[in-house]
Structure 1
């Protein structure tokens, strides 16, 4: 069964009428920025068997960052909300913001880990290329090493750089 899709404006109207908005992004993403009155239920919890409760037969609207996670995991979201009707917000919080709808933002919270990985990996690749051209061609290996790490992360689902970054002091969640 495929859930219906709603635009952010339609979702806002439904929320005003009592629908429940569930943010399935990671807790750190939610704490950094979220839609007012959205409940945080990370998809990892749903995948582990957590059900979404407290809707009392009101429609449940799920959203993520850009709509990909909700679309890809629609069956699990329907199961977690059963028997309540489920809708997916098209475009996620990005579309919500594009429609100039309000969010609650806390810039004191760290950037999501995967954005940190992208920043660090991109910086290391640029440094490796610059040093490879200017100092010694062997320094190109830094870029190759980073690329190999990203390839391994994509294939295995485990990212060593993300694991390391998650232990950094700035990534301790502030409530």
Structure 2
């Protein structure tokens, strides 16, 4: 059984925030940089692991899935719909939420590392590899320029398919991974309701 994911605008979501279970599917670093009040962090690649808890939460009320722009939350909502779990996504994600002047919750910082959004991490990594390929192509061998061409091709593919392989790879880095205790606490909160 599948259901069609719904979308909520920021005004609708804000009006219903107290009655929604909000799941933020961004990386822990992005989540820590600011999230909707009351949102629980389950990174996109951990959603399948959390299916029983999300199903339990959906049985108690509506579930809103959010990310930075709405792309990852739509992916998560489609995955949940395939499992028969009805959800809604926030149109424009936390960017739209903050853009309309709504507050983002920022937890007390546990460490001093700066938190970069996934988009910023991808831009930094792509730019670094492009520059490295060009520099090595000039100084070592022209074949290194293939690195730059590969990144350019990846960016075009990413835009055409609305996916990002580099973001998937970066999401696996330690600073983008939830600590086991954090994910366990989130899953327990979903079970408790």
Aligned with 1:12 (options 8, 11, 14):
14
Q: Structure 1: 5+ residue runs without aligned partners?
A: none
**Alpha carbons of structure 1 residues 41 and 120: separation in structure 2 relative to 1, 3 Å:** closer
**Alpha carbons of structure 1 residues 44 and 103: separation in structure 2 relative to 1, 3 Å:** same
In 2: Cα distance, 1:113 partner to 1:89 partner? 18
In 2: Cα distance, 1:72 partner to 1:44 partner? 11
Where relative contact order (Cα < 8 A, 6+ residues apart) is larger, the structure is: 2
Task: Give the secondary structure class of the aligned counterpart of 1:34.
Answer: coil
CA contact (8 A) 1:124 1:143 kept: no
The structural deviation recorded for 1:166 is: 2.8
Query: 2:20 aligned with 1:3, yes or no?
Result: no
- The aligned counterpart of 1:68 is 71
Query: 2:116 aligned with 1:111, yes or no?
Result: yes
In 2: Cα distance, 1:131 partner to 1:75 partner? 42
Encode CA deviations 1:20-60: one digit per residue, 9 max, x unaligned. Answer: 11111122221222111111122212234633134552211
Give matches, 1:1-175, under 5 Å. 1-16=3-18, 18-48=19-49, 50-51=51-52, 52=54, 53-54=56-57, 57-78=60-81, 82=85, 85-105=86-106, 108-112=113-117, 115-126=120-131, 129=134, 136=138, 141-148=143-150, 157=165, 162=170, 166=173
Aligned residues: 166
Q: TM-score, normalising length from structure 1?
A: 0.68
In our comparison, the structure showing a higher alpha carbon Rg is: 1
In 2: Cα distance, 1:172 partner to 1:39 partner? 14
The structural deviation recorded for 1:98 is: 1.2
Q: TM-score, normalising length from structure 2?
A: 0.63
Bigger helix fraction: 2
